[in-house]
Amino acid sequence: MWKLSIDAASALIAQLSGALGLLIATPIFLSFLGKEAYGLIGILATVQSLIVLLDLGVATSLMRATSSFKETGDTARFHAIFRLVLLFAAAGFCAILIAGFAGANTVATVWLSVDNLPSATVQTCLVAIFIQLGFRWITGFLRANALGMEWVVTASAVQVLGNVLRYGLGAGLLVWPGLSLSTFFWFQASCSAVELLCILFVVRKNLPHPIFARVDVRNLKSELHLTGTLSAALVLWSIASQADRVILSNILPLGEFGEFMLGITIASGVLILAGPFGGVLIPRLTSLSEANDSKGLHTTFLATLTAASVFAGAVAVTLGFFMEDVFRIWLDASPNQYADVIRTASWYSLGNLALVLGSIPYYLQVAKGNLHYHLIGAAFSTAGLLISLPVLIHFRGIEGAGIAWMLVNTSALCWSLWVAKRLLPSLHHLDWLRAVILPISGILFATFTFKHAVTLPQDRIGALITLLATGLAITIAGIISSPLLIRFLRRSLFEGHKPWL
C-alpha cells in the first residue's frame, strides 16, 4: 500500500506541475498574446479533450492489459495487444494531421468569430495545434503502457519535464526575447515532440522482448469486447463533456470565449486529483481483481473514495465559494470585470467534484472488465447535457453551462455509487456516509464558517497566503470529519500498521 501512496504522490506532483504551470503562465500569456490568442489556447484544450476521449478506450484497455500481463506473464498476448495499439495510434496520428491541414481554413474563417487576429495567423496556429495534438495522442498510449507496468514515478517525471518546457520555458520566451503568436504555437508543438521522445525511450527500454509478436485476434476476444464497450461510452462522453465548449466557441467572440476558458481553467483545478487516482488505481484494482482478492478490492476502493472526498472536496468547495478572490489574486482583476465567468467557474468547480468522485467507481468497473453500467450512465449523462445545455445557456448565458454541468455530474455520481454497490456487494450504505457524506459535510461547514469569518487582505500576496491557509484548514476539517481517514492515519503513524484500513 505504501507503493500505492508513493505512486499516487508522484502522479499528483505531475498533475500539479501542469496546473501550477498553467496558472502561473496564464497571466503572462494574456499580457503578451491577448484574449483572442488565449481563446486559441482554449480551442487547443477543447480539441485535445475530444481527441483524448476519442481514443475509444484503447489507452485504458492497454493499461488494464499491461497490469494483467504483470500478473499472468503472458508475453505473447501482451505484445499482440501492444502491436494493435501501436497501429491504432499511428492511424489516429495520421487522421489528426489530415484534419488539421484540411480543416484549419474552415475553422478559422467560418466557425470562430475573430475580431483582430489575421485569418492567416489563426490558420497557422491551428495547424500547429493539430500537430501538437498528434504528438500528445501517441504520448497518451505510451504513458498508459508505463502506468500499467506501474512505472508511475518515471512516467510522472516525463510529464513534469513536458510541463516545465510547455509553460515555464514558453512563458519565459514570451517575456524575452519575445515570440510571435504563430511561433509560440510551433514552440508548444516542439515541446510535445520532446515529451513523446522521452516517454518512447522509457517504454522501449523497459519492454520485454520481442516487441512484435503474431497477432491472434481470437485470443484477444475479452479485451476487444471490453474496448468496444468502453469505446461506445467514451464517444458519448466526449460529445457530452465538450458540448458546452463547442457551442460557446461558435456563439461567443473569440476573446469572450477566451474569458470563458479562464473560468474553466480555474475550475479544472479539481480534476488535478483525478489523474493520480486513475493512473494508480486502475492497475492496482486490476491486479486485485485478477487475484480474486475481494477484501483488497473493498478496502482499496473505499480508501480511495474517502481520499477523493476529502482532498478533491476541499479544493472544489474552496474554489467554488472563494472564486472572486481567486480571480483577483490570479489576474489582478476586478470581480465585476469577470462577474459572469466567476459564477460559471463556481458551478464548474462543484460539478468537477462530482465528476472526480464518480470516476472512482468507473475505475472499479474497468478493473472488473464490466463497463455495461458505465455505458448506460454515459448515455443518460449525454442526453441530460445535450437537453439542458441549450436551454440553460439560453436563459442564463454562460452561467447556464456551469449549472448544467453540476446537475448532470451530480446525478451521474449517484448512479456510479449504485453501480459500485452492485459490483462489490460487501459495500454497505453506511460506507457512503463515512466515505463521502461526512467528509463533504465537514468541508461545507468549515467553508461557510471561514467565508463569513475571514476577510482576505487587499494585496494579492497577503490574500494568497490567507486563502491557502483557509484551504488547508478546510482540508483538515474534511480529514477530521472522515472516520476512515482518521483510522488510517492512527494505524499508520502511531500503531505501525501498513494496511489502509
pLDDT in tens, 60-91: 667 777 776 666 666 777 777 788 888 888 99
Distance CA 204, CA 212 (A): 12
- At residue 131 the predicted structure's pLDDT band, cuts being 50, 70 and 90, is very high
Task: Record the cell numbers describing residue 81, joined without a space.
Answer: 495487444
Q: What percent of the chain has pLDDT over 90?
A: 35
Please name the residues in contact with 249: beta carbons below 8 A apart, sequence gap of 6 or more.
39, 42, 43, 46, 111, 112, 257
* DSSP per-residue string spanning 407-457: HHHHHHHHHHHHHHHHH-TT--HHHHIIIIIHHHHHHHHHHHHHHHH----
pLDDT of amino acid 473: 95
270 in Cβ contact with 314 (< 8 Å): no
Question: What stretch of H or E contains 166?
Answer: none
Distance CA 424, CA 431 (A): 12
- At residue 38 the predicted structure's pLDDT band, cuts being 50, 70 and 90, is confident
In the DSSP assignment, the letter for residue 53 is H
Task: Give the max Cα distance, the chain.
Answer: 67
In this predicted structure, the answer to whether residue 218 has a pLDDT above a threshold of 60 is: no
Distance CA 188, CA 201 (A): 20
In this predicted structure, the answer to whether residue 172 has a pLDDT above a threshold of 90 is: yes
In this predicted structure, the answer to whether residue 499 has a pLDDT above a threshold of 50 is: no
In this predicted structure, the answer to whether residue 222 has a pLDDT above a threshold of 60 is: no
288 vs 166, residue with greater confidence: 166
Is the bond leading into 439 cis (omega within 30 degrees of zero)? no
In the DSSP assignment, the letter for residue 127 is H
pLDDT of amino acid 186: 96
Average pLDDT of the chain, as a whole number: 84
65 vs 430, residue with greater confidence: 430
How many Cβ atoms sit within 10 Å of the Cβ of residue 115?
Answer: 9
pLDDT of amino acid 85: 83
pLDDT of amino acid 501: 42
| 334 phi/psi in degrees, rounded to 5 | -70, 140
15 in Cβ contact with 275 (< 8 Å): yes
Instruction: Specify the long-range contacts of residues 295-302, CB closer than 8 Å, at least 24 apart.
Output: 295/426, 297/364, 297/367, 297/424, 298/424, 298/426, 298/427, 299/499, 299/500, 299/501, 300/4, 300/500, 301/360, 301/361, 301/364, 301/420, 301/424, 301/427, 302/427, 302/431, 302/435, 302/484, 302/501
pLDDT of amino acid 500: 42
Helical ranges in 207-338 per DSSP H: 221-251, 254-267, 274-290, 294-321, 323-331
Amino acid of residue 414: C
pLDDT, one tens digit per residue, over 332-378 is 877 788 889 999 999 999 999 999 999 899 888 888 877 788 888 88
Distance CA 158, CA 438 (A): 37
pLDDT of amino acid 415: 94
Look-up of cell digits 475550475: 267
In 273-297, which positions are buried (b, 16+ CB within 10 angstroms) versus exposed (e)? Answer: bbbbbbbbbbbbbbbbbbeeeeebb
Distance CA 161, CA 199 (A): 11
Distance CA 240, CA 416 (A): 17
- How many degrees, rounded to 5, is the angle at CA 50 between CA 46 and CA 52? 115
pTM, 2 dp: 0.79
pLDDT of amino acid 275: 60
Distance CA 65, CA 83 (A): 12
Distance CA 12, CA 155 (A): 12
- At residue 134 the predicted structure's pLDDT band, cuts being 50, 70 and 90, is very high
How many Cβ atoms sit within 10 Å of the Cβ of residue 320?
Answer: 22
| 481 phi/psi in degrees, rounded to 5 | -80, -5
How many Cβ atoms sit within 10 Å of the Cβ of residue 119?
Answer: 12
Range with the lowest mean pLDDT among 364-368, 390-394, 441-445?
Answer: 364-368
Distance CA 294, CA 411 (A): 28
How many Cβ atoms sit within 10 Å of the Cβ of residue 256?
Answer: 18
Residue 77: name the closest of 224, 264, 242 by CA: 224
DSSP H helix total and E strand total for the chain: 20, 0
Residue 230: name the closest of 370, 356, 24 by CA: 370
pLDDT of amino acid 489: 66
Most confident of 14-28, 308-322, 355-369: 308-322
Residue 234: name the closest of 59, 8, 487 by CA: 59
10 in Cβ contact with 153 (< 8 Å): yes
